[in-house]
Amino acid sequence: MSGCDTRYGRDTQDGCGGRAGRKTTALVTGGGSGLGLALARHCAGLGHHVVIAGRDPDRLSQAVRDAQADDLELHALRCDVTDEAAVDRLFAELAETHPPLGLCVNNAGRNSSHRLVGVRQDESGAREVRPYPVSQWEETIKLCLTGVFLVGRRAAAAMVAHDQGGVIVNISSATSSGAYGQSAYAAAKAGVESLTRTWAVELGEYGIRVVAVAPGVLDGEALRRRCASSPRHQEYMSRLRRQTPLGRWCTEQDVAAAVALAADNPSITGTVLEVHAGGIPRRVYE
Ligand SMILES: NC(=O)c1ccc[n+]([C@@H]2O[C@H](COP(=O)([O-])OP(=O)(O)OC[C@H]3O[C@@H](n4cnc5c(N)ncnc54)[C@H](OP(=O)(O)O)[C@@H]3O)[C@@H](O)[C@H]2O)c1
29 CB near ligand 1 (under 6 Å): yes
So what's the pLDDT on residue 286? 62
Closest CA to 102 of 205, 11, 196, 193: 11
Give the H or E element holding residue 131. Answer: strand 127-131
Average pLDDT value over all residues in the chain: 92
So what's the pLDDT on residue 5? 42
So what's the pLDDT on residue 237? 92
CA distances (Å), 169 to each of 9, 110, 199, 213, in order?
Answer: 14, 17, 11, 7
Mutate which of 42, 87, 107, 193 for ligand 1? The one with the most ligand atoms within 8 Å of its CB, which is 107
Burial 199-227 (b: 16+ CB within 10 A, else e): bbeebeeebbbbbbbbbbbbebeebeeeb
Separation of CA 222 and ligand 1 centre (Å): 8
82 CB near ligand 1 (under 6 Å): yes
Q: Closest Cα to atom 40, ligand 1: which residue? A: 56
Chain segment 118-159, per-residue pLDDT in tens: 999 999 999 999 999 999 999 999 999 999 999 999 999 999
Q: How confident is the model at residue 283 (pLDDT cuts 50, 70, 90)?
A: confident
35 CB near ligand 1 (under 6 Å): yes
In this structure, the number of other CB atoms found within 10 A of the CB of residue 245 comes to 11
CB 196 within 8 A of CB 210: yes
Per the residue annotation, which of 185, 206, 236, 285 is the catalytic one? 185
Active-site residue, 236 included: no
Chain segment 203-236, per-residue pLDDT in tens: 999 999 999 999 999 998 889 999 999 999 999 9
Mean pLDDT of 192-199: 99
User: Which atom of ligand 1 is found nearest the CA of 172?
Assistant: 7
Mean pLDDT of 49-70: 98
Mutate which of 33, 64, 87 for ligand 1? The one with the most ligand atoms within 8 Å of its CB, which is 33
H-assigned helices in the chain? 34-45, 57-69, 84-97, 134-141, 147-162, 183-203, 221-229, 231-242, 252-264
Higher local confidence (pLDDT), 14 or 40: 40
User: Which atom of ligand 1 is found nearest the CA of 111?
Assistant: 47
Integer-rounded Cα Rg, in Å, for the chain is: 19
| Helix, strand or coil, per DSSP, at residue 127 | strand
Pick among 3.40.50.720, 3.30.450.20, 3.40.920.10, 3.10.50.40: CATH of 25-112+142-218+250-275: 3.40.50.720
Bin 92: left if φ > 0, else alpha if -120 < ψ < 50, else beta.
alpha
CB 263 within 8 A of CB 4: no
